[in-house]
Each structure stands twice: as structure tokens, then as C-alpha cells.
Amino acid sequence: MSAASTPVQLRDRACIVGIGHTEYAKRGVFESVGSFELAVRAIRAACEDAGIDPRDIDGFTSFGGDESTPSEMQLALGSKNLRYASTPWGGGGSGLPTAVLNAVMAVACGVAENVAVVRSIVQGRRRLGGNVNRDEDEPPSRGFYYQAPFGFVVPMAIYALRTQRHMAKYGTTIDHLADVAIAARRYSAHNPDAVFRDMLTREQHHASRIVADPLRLFDCCMESDGAAAVIVTSAERASDMRARPVYVRAVSTRSPNRWHPVNYTEEEELFASSGHAAAAEDVFRAAGIGPTEIDVAEIYDGSTGGLIMATEDWGFCARGEGGDYFSDGQSALGGSTPINTHGGNLAEVYLQGITHLVEGVRQLRGTAVNQVDGAEVALYSSGLGYPPHGGILLRS
Amino acid sequence: MEVRQRDDPDLNLPSFTSRPGVDPTSEGFWRAAGEGRLELQRCAGCASHRFPPAPICHVCGSDDSTWAALPGTGTIYTFTWVPDPGRRDESGSPAWANIVVVDLDGVSGRGVRMVSNLVDCHEPGSIRVGQSVTLECVHLEEGLGLPCFRSEP
């Protein structure tokens, strides 16, 4: 494969120098505040963390159809110049790697100096997990053109169909799924920011209502409100900042042709997967770092089943053994690679992955509540969702 | 082939559907189902079937294709059950809607799996990965139909 297809030239060129977030809450709590105000507050907190004046933020990136617009954020923050703003084309909740890649490219080539990557969500009125068809008398969106007429209109069915296949093919069980949800609560119990901090048992998991068989309520990411942001700047400028810089070692948004969330022509071994094996290959090649050298992984967990598949895609265990990885405690502190040390979308908050990125930075600064001793390399991965998806490798 | 009526009480069809999107590329798929057939585009250049419908062949790039009927049999590749609050039994419990992925027989090229419903299966436990299924089309409106499946031959 040619060098151009793996962005080695971006290696260590940009750093995350600030992280910030709002309070997190169950869906609807911040409806009257609104996602825009939450976004501004998260960016200001990230600027304070970095020791950067918000007036010096000159770029914004986001993803997932964020409703906060760059021009309004510029006004609210007093940013002197807006030099760069973008969101990915497609990707949905899997868009964070593209949003970070956009920020990294912008600062690496001098288009902008300090780019805020932000995601803000309030779900009081608009529920991201609800029916994708707003009006059943209208044709479906192109993404569900050959699915919605058969009632495939709830996002959780995307996870359910692949999880069912994973169970049939590899012997993954409902207990495995429960253990993934329990592992998230074991971490979130220590996280004062987390929305769900109570411990969970297999029995409670099994008794929760079916959302899309085999997935139950406790297999699903939560519906919540909040915002988080990180500040990306060039490696040169990062050395003068307040916090120890965290380098973006590699990013890839490589998404293979034969993997699509709802149009299933993919090869057999790709079906029961999150589709991230190709991005993993590119991230590892661009970084010169392999899965055994990753100290901690923060992986978008839209569902327990999706997290099992992504864990396999990144090579933390063999394909089909993702359930055992969680049941055997390999995702816990002291396990082979701890995963979602903040509690993730299942237990901390659902902000489509940006809080996972924030946690990755904390781990490399040594300031996480569930700290992995001596962590030097952290992975962010998007989850089972819409391409372009991918991963971000951070190093201290 | 016989086409079943949408309001047939024996059929398990979700209440939360949308009408199909009909455009020049997709229309043949829904029209064939309205006449009881499962048809996919077949490339005139390399003979590959393709799904979802597309204006060009993803294998050889040809613009030319014809709608070609498949045998209408296949295998359940995966499935899910979703509560359907729009349909309730006498006790008020929601019905169970199924969504299945069928690996279609008779496809040339890289294989096709399509989303559908197994209309004669009503309860969780009645569908399993690997089971054989047969086409059972359901009438919509204006000559359009849904290519669904049933578990009995």
C-alpha cells in the first residue's frame, strides 16, 4: 500500500492541549439551556484547561449534525478570527475521528492555530435513538431506503442484527452482553461525572426490557444531555502550553467497501464486526504502534454487542472472543487492555464519543479517576455506525 | 405468484414502516414484488446481480442492466425482534415485529443479503439463523409490493 494512503506525515504534528465539558444529565434536563450554550461552556472550559484565551480559538470542528454553528460560537466566545470550520460528510455518531482529523490537518498545515473540537447534545425533544422516519407517508431517507419499508427504522436494530449473528457464529451469549454493561458500571461507580453509577447485576440486565432482540435496555447507550470539547493545536505551539501535551500519533477514517451498517453485501468475517479492521490497520501502520502497545482504549459503545465487535476489530482479542474479553476481566484495570475507563456511553454519558476522547487525554496526563498506571498510549475508536468511521491514537 | 394483502391478519408486518422510495433506479424492485416476484438488477456486461439498486455496475462499471427474477428462496442470515406498540394483543402487550436479513439464493457475483420480514413468524423463538425461507410478497399500492418471506416452503 502506498504511503499516501496512510497519513504518516501527520504523525505527532498536532496535540490535544485542553479538555473541557459541562455537567452531564439524563435526557431533557438541559433542554431549556440548549445545545448551543452547552457547546460554548464546554469550549470555554477546554480553553481554561489549556490556558488559551477563547478569543484565540480560530477553528471549530464537530460531527453528527451538531446544531452549534461556528459563526455563532465565534460571536459567543469573542474569537478574533474564524479561519477554519468543518463537519464530516456522513459518519453520524462515528464522525469524531474525521472531526479530529480535520482539526489536525488544519493546524498541521497552518490553516488555523487553535481548533476546538466540540460535540453538544440535548435529547429532550429530538431523540437520536428514535424512529428514523419522521413521517411514514414520506419515502425514507436514502440511508434506510431498502430497510424502512420493512420496519427497520430504529437505530438499535443496526446493533441487534450484527449481535445476533455474532452470537450464532461465535457462541457469544446474553451473559457476555451483561458483563460488558456491568464492566461499564464498575468504572462509572468511581466517576463523579457519570449519569449512571449504581452497580448492575446479570439478573437486572436480563430482566430489563427487550429493545431489539437480543439487546435489552441495559445493552443500549443512554439518552443524555451535555457537551464536551478538546483543543487541538500544532506540536510546536503545544510545547508552550499549560498542560502536558497529548500527541495525536495517528488518525484513520478508512472504511471498507464491503461493510455498511444496513446494506449487507459484506464478506462473512466482516458482518459480525464493527467494520473497523481496515481503520485499525491504517492507524497501526501510520503510528508504528500495534495493539499490544496500547495501554488503554476508549471505544464508542452504542451497545454492548457493538463494543464486543470493535474490541475484536482492533485486535485486543481474536475474532469471536470479545465476549470472553469482558467476562474474564481483561477490560478492567489490571486486564490486558482496559476499555472505557470512564464508563462510556453505557454509564457515563452519551455524547457520541467525545467524552471517550477526553478520557483518553486524562489517562495520558495521569489524571483519570480510574487511572491506568503509566499509560503512554491511548486509542479512541468510533463504534458500529456510519462510515466514514475510524480511530485516533494518542500518545503522551 | 399470489400476492398477499397488507391487512391480512395472518401476516406479521410491522406497523412502523414507511412507504418505499420509488425512483427510476429502485422502481423495478418494488414493482416486481407487486407482481409476486423478487427481481434484482443484473449487469448486461458481466452478469453480476446487484443490491441495493444502483445506476451502474460496481464490478465492471457498465451502465446497462436488466431486472432479472431470482428463485425467491434463501437463508436467514440474522434477525431481530422489536416490540411493536402500534399493534397490541388483548392484554395490551405490544406485538413482536421481526426484521430479518435473508441471504438470497441464485445470485451471481458477490452475493446479496436483503432486509425483509418473515411474515408467518409471530413470536420470539420462532426464527433461527440458517433456516430456509421462501418469498411471500405483500401488496402495497399502485402496483408496488414488499418482497417478504415465510418460513414454510
Indicate the DSSP class of residue A140.
Answer: P
* Integer Cα distance of A74 and A58 in angstroms: 8
What pLDDT score does A269 carry? 84
- In this predicted structure, what is the pLDDT of residue A136? 67
Query: Is the CB of residue B38 less than 8 Å from the CB of residue B53?
Result: no
Question: Does any CB of chain A come closer than 8 Å to the CB of residue B102?
Answer: no
Nearest to A128 by CA among A93, A88, A89, A163: A93
Is A350 assigned a catalytic role?
Answer: yes
pLDDT exceeds cutoff 90 at B34: yes
A150 touching chain B per CB within 8 A: yes
Å from A381 to nearest chain B CA?
Answer: 25
Q: What is the ipTM of this complex?
A: 0.97
**Chain A contact present for B92, CB below 8 A:** no
Q: Is A300 a catalytic residue?
A: yes
pLDDT on residue A3: 47
Q: Which residues in chain A come in under a pLDDT of 50?
A: 1-4
Whose grid coordinates read 445476533? A164
pLDDT for position A134? 62
With a CB-CB cutoff of 8 Å, which residues 211-230 of chain A face chain B?
211-214
What's the CA gap between A220 and A344, in Å, rounded? 11
- Nearest by CB: A151 against B26, B99, B129: B99
How many residues does the structure list for chain A?
Answer: 396
Q: Which residues of A touch B80 (CB under 8 A)?
A: 157, 160-161, 164, 212-214
- Residue B12: pLDDT over 90: yes
Residue B38: what pLDDT? 98
Four-CA torsion B128, A176, A179, A155, nearest 10 degrees: -40
Cβ contact A145–B21 (<8 Å): yes
Tens digits of per-residue pLDDT, A86-96? 999 988 899 99
pLDDT tens-digit readout, A287-309: 999 999 999 999 999 999 999 99
| Residues linked to residue B99 through DSSP beta bridges, in sequence order | B80
Instruction: Spell out the residues 6+ positions from residue B105 whose beta carbon is closer than 8 angstroms to its own.
Output: B70, B71, B73, B74, B75
* A150 to B146: CB separation less than 8 angstroms, yes or no: yes
Residue B115 has its nearest CB partner, among A131, A150, A258, at A150
Q: Where are the alpha helices (DSSP H) in B1-97?
A: 27-34
Q: What are the pLDDT digits (tens) for A311-358?
A: 999 999 999 999 999 999 999 999 999 999 999 999 999 999 999 999
Q: Rounded to 5, what percent of chain A is helix, strand, coil?
A: 40, 15, 45
In degrees, to the nearest 5, what angle opens at C-alpha A294 toward C-alphas A292 and A299?
A: 115
Write out the H or E segment, with its range, that includes residue A352. none
**Catalytic annotation, pick one of A159, A187, A350, A380:** A350
